[in-house]
Amino acid sequence: MPHLTIVAEDRTGLISELSTLLGNKGINISDIQAQAYGADAIIQIEVDRHEDTLHILAEEDFHVVADDSLLIRVADQPGALAQIARQLADGQVDIRAVRVVQRHAGFSVISVSCDRNEVARGVLGDVVLG
């Protein structure tokens, strides 16, 4: 079952807010994993209605990433994305898509989809979340 990854500012009650929102819409969460990275929370969920969940979360301004992407956390400064792109190119990994998911507290969380995600994970090391 595909999972969705939600990136949000870490705060008390976030899991309650998310699970209540989905429960009220009749969506069942079959699996959930959550972890804080500095001021950000990364929450991975599996649900019974994938597309409906995407729409509901987007309507509530949650940042949602599909399961075929890597999330990376870098300093929010000029050249940080260029450094990541160079590391991937040097590792012979092609970037298929990239998107800044969230910027907060001096860091950016970036979603990167590559032709070889496992190789990209090894190339990028500890900047990969989860």
Residues whose CB is less than 8 angstroms from the CB of residue 56 and which lie 6 or more positions away in sequence, other chains included: 21, 22, 25, 27
pLDDT score for 51: 84
Domain spanning 70-127, CATH class: alpha beta
Residues of the chain with CATH 3.30.70.260: 70-127
Q: Are 23 and 69 in contact (CB under 8 A)?
A: no
The Cα–Cα gap between 56 and 60 comes to 6
Which residues pair with residue 35 across a beta bridge?
42
Q: Are 129 and 42 in contact (CB under 8 A)?
A: yes
pLDDT score for 67: 64
Full-model pTM:
0.68
pLDDT score for 115: 87
Q: Which pLDDT band holds residue 56 (cuts at 50, 70, 90)?
A: very high
Q: Which pLDDT band holds residue 102 (cuts at 50, 70, 90)?
A: confident
Task: Give the fold, CATH level 3, of 3-65.
Answer: VC0802-like (3.30.2130)
How far separated are the first and last CA of the chain, in Å rounded? 18
The Cα–Cα gap between 63 and 81 comes to 19
13-44 residue pLDDT tens: 999 999 999 999 999 999 999 999 888 898 99
The Cα–Cα gap between 119 and 106 comes to 27
The Cα–Cα gap between 28 and 126 comes to 32
Q: What's the whole-number mean pLDDT along residues 60-75?
A: 86
Residues of the chain with CATH 3.30.2130.10: 3-65
